[in-house]
Structure 1
Amino acid sequence: MADLRAIADSRPVRELAEAFAAAGHEFAIVGGPVRDALLGRSVTDLDFTTSARPEQTQRILDDLGTQTWDVGRDFGTIAAKVHGETVEITTYRAEVYRDDSRKPEVSYGDTIEGDLVRRDFTINALALMLPEMRLVDVSGGVEDLLAGRISTPGSAEASFTDDPLRMLRAARFASQLGFDVASETREAMVEFAERLDIISAERIRDELVKLLSAADPAPGLRLLVDTGLAERFLPELTALVATQDDHGRHKDVYEHSLTVLQQAIALEGERHPGEAPDTVLRLAALLHDIGKPATRRFERGGVTFHHHDIVGAKLVKKRLRALRFDNSTVKRVARLVELHLRFFGYSDQQWTDSAVRRYVRDAGEELERLHILTRADVTTRNRRKAERLEHAYDDIERRIDELAEAEELAAVRPELDGERIMAVLGVPPGPLVGRAYKYLLEVRLDEGPIGPEAAEERLREWAAKELA
């Protein structure tokens, strides 16, 4: 209770608790903050519940002189900033769900016990009543915290029928907390997987992003695949399970993809410590091989996946758009999937400077992510091969840095712009200028900087042949 007491004794929380008590209303910290404090995890968001109705809550906050705004008044929630701390305060609720919707018909409740029993999992059905510091646990949440178990306050069947999104939350908490899902809860996830179809793509997307933001998303992803939930919104991941990879016979592409995701997260932490989880990188790591099932061929006693990078990029665009990801995320993830094989082979035949420039040009803003993804994509058990690939990529990164320092590689472009091309050739804007620009870009990539005068001479030579 030490961490909970520290939270309760903080100025914003103490002031709120005293104000609600003075007005004759119950007030409590509820859900995730209580759970995380009991687990010794950091508490970043404060959620409160109260017996006060929204209009009464608003009056109390107005009397305190706090800034408030509606985040869901129809659901009884008012947000406020108290001494620099953003909080959400929700009236006790009792909810009824329709069979064809996850949106509840909300009615206000009268007791903290009634409010808690409707929540998704026992570990979230915990409240600390303030200012008296009384812990309320209506369904064995503390016991489940100690056991590392995820279960529902009532029957899992009723919980998931009411709100199917809770099934995805179970997978997220399994990864975030390292907990196991209780057998009856897991069985209900299998039975009611189809109920997920009534959930909006945006809500599913948000839960997927939260899961991928965990330190190790693999347990949650495995749960989604094993229960059939992934088939409802990410069938390409499930399709990887039975797809043997091209490295040998000891693993399937599914396990390889989870390993790549884990290794990418580790590298992300090493290279960018303290930064927020990189959703684009993690999506690319998870989905980089989804083109393999469609391209698998059995040839000469082996398995091939020719052009799975190109096919995979197209599948990624289609799936991420269906999940309502923004255009930038779709474009970036697809580009990484398309390029993830580009490096392999460098260790066998070192690239020319021209090839290195093209690698950087094609990666563009995704170069750093491509570095991480390519390194993470090495999952071979052959230590000698793994070390050879690691040294090869060390070498290509070194060469990129050297060329970048010498040539401003990140902004590779022809040494003559469109206006200068038109002036040298004496032509108006048109297709010829575009072709000339592409030619000069190839010269720049092949040979590096040659200077404006040499570029003009090369342009005249090209134009003489082009217009002959």
Structure 2
Amino acid sequence: MSNYFIEFEKHLMEDEKPSEYFNSLIELGAYPKEYPFNMISDLIKTEQNLEYHPEGSVWNHTMMVVDEAATRRNHSENPRVFMWAALLHDIGKGPTTKVRKGKITSYDHDEVGERMAREFLEYFNEDKEFIREVTALVRWHMQILFVVKDMPWQNVEKMDEETSIEEIALLGKCDRLGRGDMNRNTIEKEEKNVKAFLEKSKKKLSRKVQK
């Protein structure tokens, strides 16, 4: 087991703001350059659409998300799974981010991210159930957007089979609040979106049971 993996986990599980540790590694040039840690550090140079992510790079966003997650990890069903999912949730944006028609996009980063998160964790010989739980959160973290906006990529039934909808909602809240230029109005809007996601998802599942 890599000492860095152990350190990463210690700070994810114990720090009030894990981003301070991760950013200090980058600033000091001490972040591990070897595989598979580069799968995360590649996010430093991965830009995002500033309309939705005024904080800039995927790394900046990820750091904000892990800090949000740290304030809520005690509400999680499995804090260790939850915090690793927060760190790895957008790992798939590295290879999927492209400029299309002048806009930065990262289509399918949730599906690619699931595979990359599994590859990352398997490198450290983590147990299969832990990997399954983390990668399921990575895979389905975009469902909040898809369900709330009734987009064709929503799949509540499959999501429910693979993970906890409440955990997706908790991670999704961190994902949506971990952005730049947040204020009271935008925070309230995102909290309403998470609530709507839970309500719509449970309604869809109850209809399935009734059939």
Which bin holds the TM-score, normalised by the shorter protein? 0.7 to 0.9
Query: When you count strand as a share of all residues, which structure comes out higher?
Result: 1
CA distance in 2, matches of 1:400, 1:349: 11
8 Å Cα contact 2:89/2:113 also seen in 1 = yes
1:208 aligns to what? 8
The TM-score normalised by the length of structure 1 is: 0.39
- After superposition, the C-alpha distances for 1:74-97 in whole angstroms (9 at most, x for unaligned) are xxxxxxxxxxxxxxxxxxxxxxxx
CA pair 348-333 structure 1, distance change in 2 beyond 3 A? same
2:210 aligns to what? 449
- After superposition, the C-alpha distances for 1:193-243 in whole angstroms (9 at most, x for unaligned) are xxxxxxxx3544333221211232211111223324332351122111111
Structure with bigger gyration radius: 1
CA distance in 2, matches of 1:376, 1:359: 22
| Superposed displacement of residue 376, structure 1 | 0.6
8 Å Cα contact 2:148/2:197 also seen in 1 = no
2:174 aligns to what? 376
Corresponding residue SS for 2:17: coil
CA distance in 1, matches of 2:53, 2:6: 36
CA pair 261-403 structure 1, distance change in 2 beyond 3 A? same
Corresponding residue SS for 2:144: coil
Amino acid at match of 1:299: R
1:301 aligns to what? 102
CA distance in 2, matches of 1:225, 1:393: 32
**2:60 paired with 1:236:** no
CA distance in 2, matches of 1:359, 1:382: 32
Alignment match of 2:118 (pick from 311, 317, 334): 317
Matches within 5 A, 1:192-341: 201-214=1-14, 215-226=16-27, 227-232=29-34, 234-246=37-49, 247-248=52-53, 250-269=55-74, 271=75, 278-341=79-142
8 Å Cα contact 1:287/1:337 also seen in 2 = yes
- After superposition, the C-alpha distances for 1:28-51 in whole angstroms (9 at most, x for unaligned) are xxxxxxxxxxxxxxxxxxxxxxxx
| Superposed displacement of residue 390, structure 1 | 1.8
1:169 aligns to what? none
| Superposed displacement of residue 349, structure 1 | 3.8
Unaligned runs of 5+ in 1: 1-200, 408-443, 451-468
| Superposed displacement of residue 362, structure 1 | 3.7
Amino acid at match of 2:7: E
- After superposition, the C-alpha distances for 1:370-409 in whole angstroms (9 at most, x for unaligned) are 12111111134354454333212212324556777xx5xx
8 Å Cα contact 1:347/1:388 also seen in 2 = no
Unaligned runs of 5+ in 2: none
Matches within 5 A, 1:380-395: 380=179, 381=181, 383=183, 384-395=185-196
CA distance in 2, matches of 1:239, 1:314: 16
Corresponding residue SS for 1:298: strand
1:358 aligns to what? 157
CA pair 240-324 structure 1, distance change in 2 beyond 3 A? same
CA distance in 1, matches of 2:63, 2:33: 16
1:187 aligns to what? none
Q: Give RMSD over aligned pairs.
A: 2.8
CA pair 363-389 structure 1, distance change in 2 beyond 3 A? farther
- After superposition, the C-alpha distances for 1:441-460 in whole angstroms (9 at most, x for unaligned) are xxx73xx324xxxxxxxxxx
| Superposed displacement of residue 334, structure 1 | 1.1
The TM-score normalised by the length of structure 2 is: 0.81
8 Å Cα contact 2:13/2:70 also seen in 1 = no
CA pair 248-302 structure 1, distance change in 2 beyond 3 A? farther
Higher RCO (CA 8 Å, separation ≥ 6 residues): 2
CA pair 328-225 structure 1, distance change in 2 beyond 3 A? farther
Corresponding residue SS for 1:212: helix
| Superposed displacement of residue 329, structure 1 | 1.5
CA distance in 2, matches of 1:343, 1:331: 20
8 Å Cα contact 1:288/1:340 also seen in 2 = yes
